[in-house]
């Protein structure tokens, strides 16, 4: 599955990266990593360097924020009245 | 500042549902276009790669959503490569999904999103293309008038950070029942 290795690499290095780069955005391709102020900057760098290929961009945080739309999870997006 | 006002009189079959009921039943929805992130489009232009037409469909403003989500088939139609991997929670439990770079054109106001979540939205609501989350709403004033059955969305360009790209004129056709104020 795409980006599985990058996700594992991120989780392995998360604690170390938080010490120096917490809040920044990491760009990972294979085992290459670089850090940016914004995810937009990271994406543009990835495009310039590798073209349009799967890349892993994630904000370096100690815990991942909850980003799931709860209305989708609990089925209240279009619940009958 | 650009402002979009919409009212929600709706048809259910041949019956007109008045705006307050229509807004409650169908939610604050609008037509949007999902297209290529501006950086992706620029890259494809230089390489001569395909520039697919934007996908047009229905979006709902979801103040309960941290991030904006697009329908997964739309991302596939645009040929979007993943920009990240995320763990998501669904009714069936935890699942792993991807994010993609794209642009969301809200009735003439285009916003680039580098890490837009993908889900099978249309399986939940027919023809639902996009859930507009708080990553876009943080740069807007969203006014919801329940008794009147209207809402408006005003984008505050000054607060938009570089990561959300600049607000740029959209490319699609507009519905004539929208009122846009600058």
Of B64, B162, B163, the CB nearest to A70: B64
Name the closest residue on chain B to residue A37, using Cα atoms. Answer: B163
Gap from A36 CA to chain B (nearest CA, Å): 11
Each residue's pLDDT tens digit, B145-159: 999 999 988 877 654
Assess B77–A contact: CB distance below 8 Å, yes or no. Answer: no
Range of lowest pLDDT (A26-40, B103-117, B140-154) = B103-117
DSSP-assigned states of every residue in chain B: --EEEEE--EEETTEEEPHHHHHHHH-SEEEEEEE--HHHHHHHHHHT---PPPEEEEEEE-TT-SS-EEEHHHHHHTTPPPSEEEEEEETTEEEEEEEEEEEEEETTEEEEEEEEEEE-GGGTSTTEEEEE-HHHHTTEEEEEETTTTEEEEEE-GGG--GGG---EE--S---TT-EEE-
Name the closest residue on chain A to residue B21, using Cα atoms. Answer: A81
Please report where in the chains the tokens 């259910």 appear, as a residue.
B12
Note whether residue A21 is domain-resident.
Answer: yes
Note whether residue A29 is domain-resident.
Answer: yes
CB contact under 8 A, B65 and A2: no
Assess B51–A contact: CB distance below 8 Å, yes or no. Answer: no
- Residues above pLDDT 70, as percent of chain B: 73
Of B85, B87, B90, the CB nearest to A73: B90
Note whether residue A10 is domain-resident.
Answer: yes
Gap from A30 CA to chain B (nearest CA, Å): 13
Domain of A68? 4-73
The structural domains of chain B, with segments of one domain joined by +, span: 3-170
CB contact under 8 A, B39 and A44: yes
Domain count, chain A: 1
The ipTM (two decimal places) reads 0.85
With an 8 Å Cβ cutoff, the interface of chain A facing chain B consists of 1-4, 6-7, 38-44, 46-47, 51-58, 64-73, 75, 77-78, 81
Gap from A4 CA to chain B (nearest CA, Å): 8
Each residue's pLDDT tens digit, B76-89: 999 999 999 887 65
Assess B153–A contact: CB distance below 8 Å, yes or no. Answer: no
Note whether residue A36 is domain-resident.
Answer: yes
User: What superfamily would CATH give domain B3-170?
Assistant: Acid Proteases (2.40.70.10)
Note whether residue A81 is domain-resident.
Answer: no
Gap from A19 CA to chain B (nearest CA, Å): 22
> Is the separation of the CB atoms in A50 and A43 below 8 Å?
no
Range of lowest pLDDT (A25-34, B30-39, B103-112, B168-177) = B168-177
Each residue's pLDDT tens digit, B29-86: 888 999 999 999 999 999 999 899 999 999 999 998 888 999 999 999 999 999 998 8
């Amino acid at each position: 599955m795409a980006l599985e290795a990058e996700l594992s690499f991120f989780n392995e290095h998360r604690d170390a990266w938080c010490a120096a780069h917490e809040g920044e955005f990491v760009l990972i391709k294979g085992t290459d990593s670089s850090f940016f102020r914004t995810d937009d900057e990271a994406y543009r760098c990835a495009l310039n360097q590798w073209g349009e290929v799967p890349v892993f961009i994630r904000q370096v945080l100690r815990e991942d924020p909850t980003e799931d739309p709860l209305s989708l999870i609990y089925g209240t997006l279009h619940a009958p009245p | 500042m650009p402002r979009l006002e919409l009212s929600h009189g709706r048809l259910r079959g041949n019956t007109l549902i008045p705006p307050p009921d229509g807004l409650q039943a169908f939610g604050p929805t609008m037509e949007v276009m999902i297209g290529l992130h501006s950086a992706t489009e620029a890259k494809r232009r230089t390489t001569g790669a395909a520039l697919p037409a934007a996908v047009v469909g229905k979006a709902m403003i979801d103040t309960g959503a941290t991030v904006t989500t697009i329908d997964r088939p739309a991302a596939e139609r645009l040929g979007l490569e993943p920009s990240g991997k995320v763990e998501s929670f669904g009714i069936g439990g935890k699942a792993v999904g991807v994010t993609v770079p794209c642009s969301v054109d809200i009735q003439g106001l285009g916003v680039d999103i580098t890490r837009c979540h993908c889900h099978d939205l249309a399986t939940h609501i027919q023809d639902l293309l996009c859930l507009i989350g708080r990553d876009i709403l943080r740069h807007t004033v969203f006014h919801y008038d329940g008794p009147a059955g209207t809402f408006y969305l005003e984008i505050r360009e000054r607060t938009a950070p570089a990561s959300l790209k600049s607000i740029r004129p959209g490319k699609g056709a507009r519905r004539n029942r929208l009122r846009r104020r600058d």
